[in-house]
Structure 1
Amino acid sequence: MATILCYGDSLTWGSVPNGGRYPKHLRWPTILNELLGKHHQVINFGLPGRTTIWNDPFLEGRNGLSYLQAALETFGPVDILIIMLGTNDLKRYFNVGAYEAAKGVEKLIEKSKMPNNHGFPHPRCVVIAPPNILSPTGAMAENFDGAIEKSQHFHHYYQDIAVHNKCLFLNAAGILQPSTIDGVHLDTQANAQLAQAILTLIKDKL
């Protein structure tokens, strides 16, 4: 039995475009668990607004680096750690781009390899470059001002980080795009597509 920890933001948590949360069976970590079979455990540890390493002045507890070690100990031993973060890093008040987001992911990878008090082995890391941001609508349009172009560079920098750190890599933008309803979050089809792509990537590694 493998334990797979999905460490992400609202795209992992299961945000419905323009508000709400999908029921469990429509979120990609749950779909992945169904595809893998009940003998494996896929844990959804997504949190809306989570960043790689940045402290959000308007949302408490969103710094991904601050909570990763606790998550790995809480759910450990973790066999595979799936990291899909960076979309929220592109909010305009952080004033960073895809390169900095990728470097933030690298800090998370490094954190996952740090010794722990329980003798847990280090998890195998899967780095997922988030999907490109489309034209954000509503309240998100202001938050993600300038983020559309920045997000188009996710795959390049994330792949470099993944290769350098010997991680598995998936470019989400190559298989899906966000809902046109809000330009950021995933519809049900995209959740299913992502789960299937991750299955293909990891099934031989379990």
Structure 2
Amino acid sequence: MATILCYGDSLTWGSVPSGGRFPPHLRWPNILNKLLGSEHHVINFGLPGRTTIWNDPFLEGRNGLTYLQAALETFGPVDWLIIMLGTNDLKRHFNVGAFEAAKGVEKLIEKSKMPNGQGFANPQLLIIAPPNILSPTGAMAESFNGATEKSQYFHQHYQDITTQNHCLFLNSAGILQPSEVDGVHLDTKANEQLADAVYQLLAVHL
């Protein structure tokens, strides 16, 4: 049995593009668990607004680096850590791009390899480059002003980081796109596509 921790933001948490949260069976980590079977345990630890390493002045507790070690100990021992973060890094008030988001993911990779207080073995890692942002609409438009172009470089910089750190890599932009409703979040089809792609990668390793 493998414990798989999905560490992400609202795309992992299950935000509905039109508002609210999808029921559990429509969120990609839950779909992944169904594909893998009941002998494995997939944990959805997504949080709306979570960044890689940035403190958000408008949302408390969203710095992904600050809480990663606690998450690994809380749910440990964790066999596989899946990280899909970086979308929120592109919010206008952080003033960074995909390169900085990838460097933030690299800090998370480094943190996951540090010794922990429980003596758990370090997890294996799958890094997912977030999908390209479409033209954000509604409440997303101001927050993600300028993010559409920046997100086109997620694939390049995330692949570089994962190659250097010997992690499994998935470019989600190659298999799905966000909903046109808000240009950022995943619809039910995209959740299914992501779960299936992750399953295809992990199944041979479990």
TM class by smaller structure? over 0.9
Distance 2:92 2:14 in 1: 23
**5 Å matches for 1:102-121?**
102-121=102-121
AA partner of residue 164 (structure 1): Q
Distance 2:140 2:87 in 1: 12
**5 Å matches for 1:98-177?**
98-177=98-177
Correspondence 1:5 to 2:5 = yes
* Cα displacement string for residues 14-53 of structure 1 (whole angstroms, at most 9, x for unaligned residues): 0000210000000000000000000000000000000000
Distance 1:204 1:42 in 2: 16
Identity %: 79
AA partner of residue 58 (structure 1): F
**In the alignment, what sits opposite 2:195?**
195
AA partner of residue 35 (structure 1): L
* Cα displacement string for residues 166-202 of structure 1 (whole angstroms, at most 9, x for unaligned residues): 0000000000000000000000000000000000111
Distance 2:125 2:197 in 1: 15
Aligned-residue CA RMSD (Å): 0.4
Distance 1:105 1:35 in 2: 27
**5 Å matches for 1:6-45?**
6-45=6-45
Distance 1:164 1:8 in 2: 21
* Cα displacement string for residues 128-156 of structure 1 (whole angstroms, at most 9, x for unaligned residues): 00000001001110000000000000000
Deviating above 3 A after TM superposition, structure 1's stretches of 4 or more consecutive aligned residues are none
- Return 5+ residue gaps in structure 2 as ranges: none
Correspondence 1:63 to 2:63 = yes
**In the alignment, what sits opposite 1:72?**
72
Task: Tell me the secondary structure at the aligned position of residue 89 of structure 2.
Answer: helix
* Cα displacement string for residues 59-85 of structure 1 (whole angstroms, at most 9, x for unaligned residues): 000000000000000000000000000
AA partner of residue 75 (structure 2): F
